[in-house]
Structure 1
Amino acid sequence: MTDRYTKAVNSGFTKTLAKRLGLPRPAILRRYRAGDPLTVGPVLVVSDGASKADADAVAQTLLGWDLDVRRDPTDDVRWGAVVLVLTETARPADASEAVLSVGSVLRRLAGNGRVVTVSRAPADGDAPELAAARNAVDGFLRSLAKELRGGATGNGIVLTGGAAVDQTSVRATLRFFLSAKSAYVDGQLLPVGPADAEAPTSWDRPLEGKVAVVTGAARGIGAAIARTLARDGATVVCVDVPAAGEGLARTANAVGGTALQLDVTAEDAGQRILQHARERHGGLDVVVHNAGILRDKLLANMKPAQWDAVIAVNLAAQLRINEALLDAGLDGLHVVSLASTSGIAGNKGQTNYAFSKAGVIGHTRATAPLLGARGGTANAVAPGFIETDMTASIPFATRSVARLLPTLSQGGEPVDVAEAIAFLASPAAAGVNGQVLRVCGQHMVGQ
């Protein structure tokens, strides 16, 4: 299901024909464009009784963004979003009225609408009933997301460590989930801790004045990341191997940044990245580990060179660069690494790739507290099936099936990965640390 197919089955004669033939009709997803409204209609905020104060605070945040906020479900509204606040729910039965209130308006949720839950994570020492109520939101949200249609998505914010609903990181996460920037993020629950930051001067340019490095930036997802970070205000250092020099220069010129020809597997890659950023731009605030390769083979047929090359580029290079950055003692550094749903659920013929991407998740979680001690973060983004030159080489039948597996019934675009990275790289997301955000359209595996 290419973008051409999606457009065809949503317009004109081919739309009618697709309906008659019962063909899959993935919705055209709404993606971010400057100047567009944050949501596609009014926002309904509901809660159980115990969570009313937090729901009031959420409503005030939304009103501050000039949204039309309602507190009571009515039959005459095409809802742009529903926010369900269950932060103080103490027993499973306490959530029933609020949950069913959400259900009563789902038929009036607009295309590309949003459902967002706000809840608290179970904590050590919770009574069994409280732990049950808190953990139950996870299964509810993931299941609800699979029921939504027309490009609508469902995602959840999970407060940890005493985080408050009105802190900047929680508001930034809520804004991301409500916006068109999260078009291909579906069925995900993102923990947000108490670490906080000042709200950005402009929510449209949260990276203003920051210096960001993107590896593997010559094309595909890397180029999309560079463009998106630049759009959000960052000065971007684009890194790729010398063989990709022409594409690298093209990307750097397009975003008004600089190009650094560098093999990330080089022993001194971290030092050279830091030196370039400091000498050319005065510092370093964001590093995006995007560079990666595939050498797919069944393990029985895999040669040592195929295994070793993938581990060297996808995993060992990130570890070595991170070590150099940690040794430099940078304050407020935000590192975002590219993982994959293959590293979460595995994939036939990708033992080397899945090993490397699961390793990325492991080092991200271990690096998070080290950067957090200096006001920074380490997070990972795990893409599912994304429409790139790499996936275009997959056999047609396999590619078509892969597009049908997500709840959104289509592949994502490079910009979907880039939007998630830009959010995690922003200072406003300081409370999100050590997490893996899946950008997979709620793929049926790895959830």
Structure 2
Amino acid sequence: MADAYLKLVNSPPASVIAKKLGLPRPTELRRYRRGQPMVPGPVLVVASGAAEGLSGQLSGWGLEVRRRTAPGEKLGAIVLDLTTVSDPRELSEPMLAVGASLRDLAPGARVVSISRPADSASEPAAAAARQGVQGAVRSLARELRAGATANGLLLADGMDLADPGALGALQFLLSGRSAYVDGQFLLVGPGADQLPEDADRPLAGRTAVVTGAARGIGAAIAKVLHRDGARVVCVDLPAAGEELAKVSNAAGGTALQLDITSDDAGARILEHARSRYGGLDIMVHNAGITRDKLLANMDQARWDSVINVNLAAQLRINEALLASGAGQAPRVVCLASTSGIAGNRGQTNYAASKAGVIGMVGASAAAFAERGGAINAVAPGFIETEMTARIPWGTREVARRLLPSLQQGGLPVDVAEAVAFLAGDAAGGVNGRTLRVCGQSLVGA
């Protein structure tokens, strides 16, 4: 669903009028386009210690690196290396250096911090400093404007910035693929062997299955995975056969009409992928439904149908994937929701199912890792879909503009980009995690 207000205030003379009246002026986000630069300008590196290694990595990607800003120069990104901080007082100098350069950011710029997880620190001061980074960066994200975002990487102790997993996650957060990821921290551990050889086709040669692919976010996921080189199996109910065929044709793949709640759904998915493509590398659990009612008015049929489609079906299919003896387990990406994190009025059943997805992902990580795979989740927030189009106009407009800095809903492609990242080698060090794609808001489903 198009955001008419966003288009209006980005066109003359409405943009001038909106500025004079002090109205919200959301900026069209910088999204990925093949062949575009990773960032829209030079990258400023701010570090608590030596920065030569980080600067060298960024230069190796063809980026212009700065250690200080030049007068009048617009920055495409600021990368803040805080991996060595061990006391909260050490945050002052680098954070204030970032603050002094914020006015130099170009539209659609990125700020990315790199630090360590607080729960792995052995000393209280180090834990305080590491947790302080998260509070500072999340708050900074709310101060940025013109489509700029701020996010953070948490590197497991023992890892450094030369690790392929760290580099892959950094590339994602700097690029246009992360346009609607804001104020988030992604924990990266060991496990990534190498980065994709072709950054524009990182899933080349992989076979992916996407459930609920006939429309909305599922259709966007199928198309982005195809764009990135994957062979795509599009799955949806027989009733959605016509729409499913259109999406599978657009994605250059095959269609599988299937009720994912059936007991043999996992076996049928595996058989289709093996018979057509020789195996399964990526499994995307996107299919989901809502049956909203206040809990006082909820009946068992509404409750059970949502749990069965959104959660129980994923559990059964995952069991089939792990039980399969052929090759390594796939990389699995599950669709959760910010409703499962913050709750949402009238969605106790939906929120239970999506919170359950997050719990399932964390508990399943070890089993998938043992088989050479991984499992993660994406939690969308306010995404412009048929679902959010049913929200009353006034509520929908307020939800869009209340987003701290982006002031707009996300698009299905924003969720698809996060799914594609987690499905590939660039996310080889990410397992058992949930990445929010919500513009730093917990509004919507």
Instruction: Please indicate the TM-score interval, normalised by the length of the shorter structure.
Output: over 0.9
Root mean square deviation, CA, Å: 1.4
Counterpart among 92, 95, 100 of residue 96 in structure 1: 92
Q: Calculate the TM-score normalised by the size of structure 2.
A: 0.97
Give the aligned partner of residue 391 of structure 1: 388
Count, aligned residues: 442
Q: Calculate the TM-score normalised by the size of structure 1.
A: 0.97
- Once residues 398 and 213 of structure 1 are traced to their aligned partners in structure 2, the CA distance between those partners, rounded to angstroms, is 35
Asked if 1:345 is matched to 2:342, the reply is yes
Q: Is the 8 A contact 1:184 1:440 kept in 2?
A: yes
- Once residues 2 and 404 of structure 1 are traced to their aligned partners in structure 2, the CA distance between those partners, rounded to angstroms, is 14
Give the aligned partner of residue 71 of structure 2: 75
- Once residues 378 and 399 of structure 2 are traced to their aligned partners in structure 1, the CA distance between those partners, rounded to angstroms, is 19
- Once residues 404 and 163 of structure 1 are traced to their aligned partners in structure 2, the CA distance between those partners, rounded to angstroms, is 39
Give the aligned partner of residue 205 of structure 2: 209
User: Which consecutive residues of structure 1, in runs of 5 or more, have no partner in the other structure?
Assistant: none
Give the aligned partner of residue 135 of structure 1: 131
Q: Is the 8 A contact 2:384 2:410 kept in 1?
A: yes
User: Deviation of residue 219 (structure 1)?
Assistant: 0.7
Q: Deviations over 1:199-242 (max 9, x none)?
A: 21111111010000000000100000000001111000000000
Give the aligned partner of residue 180 of structure 2: 184
- Once residues 373 and 119 of structure 2 are traced to their aligned partners in structure 1, the CA distance between those partners, rounded to angstroms, is 24
Asked if 1:32 is matched to 2:18, the reply is no
User: Deviation of residue 362 (structure 1)?
Assistant: 0.5
User: Deviation of residue 138 (structure 1)?
Assistant: 0.7
Percent of counterpart pairs with the same letter? Answer: 61
- Once residues 148 and 279 of structure 2 are traced to their aligned partners in structure 1, the CA distance between those partners, rounded to angstroms, is 40
Counterpart among 400, 418, 427 of residue 425 in structure 2: 427
- Give the AA of the match of 1:212: A
User: Which consecutive residues of structure 2, in runs of 5 or more, have no partner in the other structure?
Assistant: none
Q: Deviations over 1:241-292 (max 9, x none)?
A: 0000001000110111000000000000000000000000010000000000
- Once residues 22 and 131 of structure 1 are traced to their aligned partners in structure 2, the CA distance between those partners, rounded to angstroms, is 41
- Give the AA of the match of 1:176: F
- Give SS of 2:13's match: helix
User: Deviation of residue 70 (structure 1)?
Assistant: 1.1
Asked if 1:365 is matched to 2:362, the reply is yes
User: Deviation of residue 21 (structure 1)?
Assistant: 2.7
The range that moved more, 394-403 or 359-368, is 394-403
- Once residues 53 and 373 of structure 2 are traced to their aligned partners in structure 1, the CA distance between those partners, rounded to angstroms, is 27
- Give the AA of the match of 2:424: S
Matches within 5 A, 1:405-444: 405-407=402-404, 408-443=406-441
Structure 1 stretches of 4+ with a deviation exceeding 6 A read none
CA separation of 1:125/1:60 partners in 2, compared to 1, >3 Å: closer, same or farther? closer
Counterpart among 98, 109, 113 of residue 113 in structure 1: 109
Counterpart among 155, 166, 170 of residue 162 in structure 2: 166
- Give the AA of the match of 2:27: A
Q: Deviations over 1:83-110 (max 9, x none)?
A: 0000011111122111111111001111
- Once residues 174 and 96 of structure 1 are traced to their aligned partners in structure 2, the CA distance between those partners, rounded to angstroms, is 23
Give the aligned partner of residue 12 of structure 1: 12
User: Deviation of residue 124 (structure 1)?
Assistant: 4.4
Q: Deviations over 1:9-61 (max 9, x none)?
A: 01201112222332221111111111111101000111012xx1xx3222222
User: Deviation of residue 163 (structure 1)?
Assistant: 2.0
- Once residues 232 and 275 of structure 1 are traced to their aligned partners in structure 2, the CA distance between those partners, rounded to angstroms, is 24
Q: Is the 8 A contact 2:120 2:157 kept in 1?
A: no
User: Deviation of residue 178 (structure 1)?
Assistant: 0.5
Matches within 5 A, 1:31-50: 31-49=31-49
User: Deviation of residue 401 (structure 1)?
Assistant: 1.5
- Give the AA of the match of 1:438: R
Q: Deviations over 1:300-341 (max 9, x none)?
A: 011111111100100000000000001014415100000000
Counterpart among 35, 39, 63 of residue 59 in structure 2: 63
- Give the AA of the match of 1:106: L
- Give the AA of the match of 2:25: R
